[in-house]
Chain A
Amino acid sequence: MKQSSLSSKFSGVSIKVINSLLPVLLAFFIGGIIIAAIGENPLSAYGTMIGKQLFTAKGLGNTLHYASPLILTGLAIAITFKANIYNMGVEGQMLLGAFFSGIVGSSLSTGNAIVDKLMCFAVGAICGMLFALIPALLKAFFHVDEMVVTLTFNYAMAKVLEYLASGPFRDAGAGYVCTPAIANSATFSRLGKSRLTLFFFIALAIFLVMWFVMKRTKLGYQVTAIGKNAEFAEATGMRVRCKIIILMLISGALAGIAGSGYMMSEQFRYTLDFSGSPGLGWDGMLIALLGRHSPVGILVASLFYSVLKTGADTINTYTSVPKEIVAVIQSLMILFLAVQFLNERFGLIERFKKLRAEKKEA
């Protein structure tokens, strides 16, 4: 009796943590084998990669800086995934938001620092919401599979933006395809030596709001309920159709804000590899999976992921390991995260007991 209550406690939080940690360790392990295969010491390589980002003031600042858009894209994905609605279009929504906040920041600048930034954020959020609205309406009214639509529309959006950046909105003075740089008044200036800007604190504030929404409000409860069983939620009187649209709009807005924040604090102009490879939206998916869709988990995961991302450059400079190893580790993590190693409902100990019992019977 005592044992079972203990194990049920164990199965709650810690199984979730183990389920997130195991894929990470596995991915690092395979990455370590690859590093060893090219003749480097994996432990010291990982050491330089992670140590520099966490234990120096500048490194820590950079880590926080790169975590800021990731917190937002992670939340954008988590809030829909939690309701069993799959907005895979965060990357496209983020890019669209970034692109037009870049255009507004460069051409419609008023010169006032606060007005400009608010304007850019608003444009980013609206663009993200508009692009998310298409699959949301299709899903809510016609039951069109939102997963496929959002996923493939990312590629359509990338093409459209490529055209806009190389055609109508191209910066004629630059030697490569990009839009004009945003005005000084629309850029976030660095605080101290690292790349850290005010944007991190804005992201943190949005995180707190989202934490409150997901954990303490009616909407947050409804998200969980719809995720568990949409038909039952409808039967108990939640208007699922309306909630789907609201969730997708929130998700799109978060993605758009992430894009315009990244534009104003890091990139300053839209280029064809604006969000890097594999892109902030895809990173956000990894983070949402790693954080198991819980807000606090996402915060921790995005900090961890930012360490990896900034660590890629360190590993390139201080060791002979190419920084592409980080992308390999990241994709392995996603691969392993797709599978739940331990069942959250039944717990580890019960599982072993069951196995044992089955063996005895046999």
Chain B
Amino acid sequence: MDFINNLLYNSVYNAAPILLCVLGGIFAYKANVLNIALEGLMLAGAFVSMLVAYLTHNLFLGILSAIVVCLLLGLVFSVMSVTYKGNVIVVGLAINMLVPAVADFVLKLMKSSNINLTWANVNDFKINIPFIEDIPILGSILSGHPPITYIAFLMIIVMAVLMYRTKFGVYVRVVGENDDAARSLGLKSNQYKYIAILIGAFCCALAGINLSMERLAVFTNDMTAGRGFIAIAAIYCGRGAPGPSAVYAIAFGVASALATQLTVSAGSAAALLDVIPYVIMGVVLTVVSITKRRKVKVRGF
């Protein structure tokens, strides 16, 4: 019973940052600018929030500056890839490399291998819902999580509404489907791409804050551990639709919860569970491509 309760709790816990990255990334995906930089942006959120909170002893200031820095990085990404038409993947990878490099540099200057908020108590961040926390299985799913975890799950609905029920969502999708057509209708397509990327940056900032500040009050430089790429796998599996992408994100969260849970009993082989998201992505991409290409009848390549 303990095993199941822990597993369920950890699944929700592990799914939250992936989910936030996915929900941030889908707009960029739909606008046809693949945001590879999710990983770097998330790390930036984690790093800046902890650094500022450590220096100023103010959690709120930390959160605020993390969001600002992530938006600035998102702006750099947009300027380089949308306005100056750089290779999106290369720009994204550059940001993915820049953030840990800067974090490493600052940590070296601080002569420390991590940032630790000794004065903050992580248990204070957890929201325990009365009554529900006592229900055996439901309690570990619904109660005892930090605020951003709840925000992450609420975001599924917000993003679905934003994408399918607002003008903005429609325009972003039009821009992604056919840039020239969107422009001929008078849409400022670059503007929509910028906003799509910045939404992603904001969500990644939240994911980063969730990872470092809310859960552990500790920052180490490898703490994002490829979650941004798992998120990209989830986005591709769900074809950028908020609902299905979120389902994949949660499924991958369960897989990584299982991986940590089973490490005790199965040893290092449990780490192989982390490979599952990528394999699933490969299969889904192939199946989608096959069904799409079936109608295309062109000779050769």
Is there an interface contact between A155 and B91, defined as CB atoms closer than 8 Å?
no
Is there an interface contact between B300 and A159, defined as CB atoms closer than 8 Å?
no
Is there an interface contact between B97 and A278, defined as CB atoms closer than 8 Å?
yes
Interface segment among A66-74, A247-255, A326-334: the answer is A326-334
A6 at the interface (CB under 8 A from B): no
B104 at the interface (CB under 8 A from A): yes
Q: A155-B278, A167-B268, A322-B105 are in contact. Are A335 and B300 (CB under 8 A)?
A: no
Q: A163-B271, A163-B272 are in contact. Are A142 and B293 (CB under 8 A)?
A: yes
Q: A142-B286, A159-B271, A159-B275 are in contact. Are A152 and B93 (CB under 8 A)?
A: no
B158 at the interface (CB under 8 A from A): no
Is there an interface contact between A162 and B286, defined as CB atoms closer than 8 Å?
no
CA distance A241 to B87 in the complex (A): 24
Within 8 Å by CB of B36, from A151, A155, A230, lies A151
CB A302 to nearest CB in B, in angstroms, measures 18
CA distance A152 to B183 in the complex (A): 33
Within 8 A of B (CB), among A281-317: 282, 285, 289
Chain A residue contacts of B226, Cβ below 8 A: 155, 158
Is there an interface contact between A159 and B282, defined as CB atoms closer than 8 Å?
no
CA distance A144 to B272 in the complex (A): 24
Chain A residue contacts of B95, Cβ below 8 A: 331, 335
Q: A151-B36, A335-B95, A338-B80 are in contact. Are A159 and B272 (CB under 8 A)?
A: yes
Is there an interface contact between B101 and A331, defined as CB atoms closer than 8 Å?
yes
A121-155 interface mask toward B, CB cutoff 8 Å, 1 = contact, 0 = none?
A: 00000000000001000101011110111011101
Within 8 Å by CB of B86, from A140, A162, A277, A338, lies A338
Counting chain A CB atoms within 10 Å of each CB, the highest count among B80, B84, B89, B267 belongs to B89
Give the nearest-CB partner of A233 in chain B: B301
A324 at the interface (CB under 8 A from B): yes
> Which size class do B's interface residues fall under?
35 or more
CA distance A189 to B164 in the complex (A): 64
CA distance A240 to B299 in the complex (A): 12
A174 at the interface (CB under 8 A from B): no
CB A244 to nearest CB in B, in angstroms, measures 8
Chain A residue contacts of B104, Cβ below 8 A: 324, 327
Is there an interface contact between A335 and B89, defined as CB atoms closer than 8 Å?
no
Counting chain B CB atoms within 10 Å of each CB, the highest count among A88, A156, A289 belongs to A156
Within 8 A of B (CB), among A11-47: 34, 38
Counting chain A CB atoms within 10 Å of each CB, the highest count among B85, B286, B293 belongs to B286
Beyond A324-B105, A327-B100, 9 additional contacts (C-beta under 8 Å) are: A38-B109, A88-B89, A142-B293, A144-B285, A156-B275, A278-B97, A324-B108, A328-B105, A338-B94
- Which residues of A line the B interface, CB within 8 A? 34, 38, 86, 88, 134, 138, 140, 142-145, 147-149, 151-153, 155-156, 158-160, 162-163, 166-167, 230-231, 234-235, 239-241, 277-278, 282, 285, 289, 322, 324-325, 327-328, 330-332, 334-335, 337-340
Could you list some 28 contacts between A and B, CB below 8 A?
A: A134-B282, A138-B282, A138-B289, A144-B285, A148-B232, A152-B278, A155-B278, A156-B274, A162-B268, A167-B268, A231-B301, A234-B300, A239-B301, A241-B300, A241-B301, A278-B97, A278-B101, A285-B93, A322-B105, A327-B101, A330-B97, A331-B94, A331-B95, A331-B97, A331-B101, A332-B98, A338-B87, A338-B90
